Structure 1
Amino acid sequence: MREPTVAAVMSHPVCTASRETPFREIIAGLLEGGVLPVIDDSGAPVGMVSAKDALAKLEFRGGAEIPGPFAGRALRARWRKARGVTAGELMTSPVASIGLSTGVRVAARQLTTSGLHRLCVVDEAGGLAGLVSRRDLLMVFLRPDSVLEEDIRAELRRRVHSGEAIRVRVCGRIARLAGAIRFHSSVDQAESIARSVPGVIDVCNRLSYDFDDYQYV
């Protein structure tokens, strides 16, 4: 199936920093892009600075407020960042990354299961090509109905017996299937295919069949 890749929805170009980028420039980058990827000399992402990382300096008064002896690991980690003055000292590392040609469904699963809000998108050489966020992935639900229709028809012709006989119409990202085909199992398969096209939000299946092949399963 022709599935959109992260390259089609990612944000690029993005503001970046090196490990040596000073605090003032970090803040400017955060205000511009929300997050600041840190790259090495080859352009590969090695860390990420977020507003949360920078706010540790306020939380702990620049590191003057020292956590007590029973402070947890996470609290002590934030305190150490409060004393940081460069991107290398503030960044969270390692970073989660994904390839340019990866499908949007894989990216969505990686983001939701990890709890992350963004992934670094890297090219074949490992260099930073962009960022893909949860918001970016939502763009697939704005794909035109005509494009969704084309994708569904192409996949039905390829995978379903008598798929050419299925009439497809998409309106408001809802796919409507109609027509008469031979097997009951093909009706269910056609609906599954339509539902799996990125951007389709629901399927109205009005297909009929001539032969119930499930009775022999």
Structure 2
Amino acid sequence: MRMTVADVMTSKVVFVTAATSFKDIAEALITGGVSAVPVLDDDDHVIGMVSEADLLRKEEFREEFYCEGYRPPLRARLRHPKGRRKAEGDTAAELMTRRAITIFPDASAVSAARLMDAHDVKRLAVVDYNGRLQGIVSRCDLVKLFVRGDEVIAAEIRDDILDRALGFPNTPAGPEA
């Protein structure tokens, strides 16, 4: 059966706005039990994503601003050339990754996994065709597909074959002619 993003996504999403402060973003991540939040504009369009890594850059580069002569490790400068800009940020608009990778709810779960891999991200904002937030799909959401019970998988196969391929509705009494 073709599992869609809508089948596995989280619909109740913790989010912030562009003006949300650093401290309030950290609080949202902690209380929401998530590692990133989408940043929304006034019309619920996704304009970016702020992750724990974005917040940690502030701490990583903190000494650079307070200690004379401090330079972050070379690997940090090479891996995160925008780190200094983000480290100076105080709001979601200044801290966020500006181009959030998005996907539509009717896309396949396989497409979501491929998109995450192609962009090296851990989550995708799920948006409707107007770009408004509908949910989040994470790698964990996709991994859950592997632990479904045999009965669930068998029912999905029956539904897929009988209903979609043959055009028969699958009812508890069996297909009706």
Would you call these one fold, judging by a TM-score over 0.5?
yes
Kept in 2: contact 1:63–1:80 (CA 8 A): no
| TM-score normalised per structure 1 | 0.64
Kept in 2: contact 1:62–1:82 (CA 8 A): no
1:106 paired residue number: 111
Q: Which AA in structure 1 matches 2:58?
A: K
1:141 paired residue number: 146
What RMSD over aligned residues (CA atoms) do the two structures have, in Å? 2.5
1:90 paired residue number: 95
Alignment of 1:117-132 (within 5 A): 117-132=122-137
1:30 paired residue number: 29
2:59 paired residue number: 58
| Cα shift at 1:101 | 1.0
Give the greater-gyration-radius structure (CA).
Answer: 1
Q: Which AA in structure 1 matches 2:57?
A: A
Gap change, CA 1:99 and 1:28, over 3 Å in 2 = same
Alignment of 1:197-216 (within 5 A): none
2:6 paired residue number: 7
1:204 paired residue number: none
Gap change, CA 1:103 and 1:61, over 3 Å in 2 = same
1:20 paired residue number: 19
What secondary structure sits across from 2:13 in the alignment?
coil
Q: Say whether 1:80 aligns with 2:85.
A: yes
- In structure 2, runs of 5+ residues without a counterpart are 167-177
Q: Which of structures 1 and 2 has the larger relative contact order (alpha carbons within 8 angstroms, sep 6+)?
A: 2
Q: Deviations over 1:9-58 (max 9, x none)?
A: 11221111111111110110121222121011110111111111111111
Q: Which AA in structure 2 matches 1:120?
A: A
The structure that is strand-richer by fraction is 1
Gap change, CA 1:29 and 1:41, over 3 Å in 2 = same
Gap change, CA 1:26 and 1:153, over 3 Å in 2 = closer
What secondary structure sits across from 1:43 in the alignment?
coil
- In structure 1, runs of 5+ residues without a counterpart are 160-217
Q: Which AA in structure 1 matches 2:36?
A: V
| Cα shift at 1:112 | 2.3
What secondary structure sits across from 2:99 in the alignment?
coil
| TM-score normalised per structure 2 | 0.77
Q: Percent identity?
A: 37
Kept in 2: contact 1:63–1:79 (CA 8 A): no
2:171 paired residue number: none
1:43 paired residue number: 44
1:200 paired residue number: none
Q: How many residues align?
A: 157
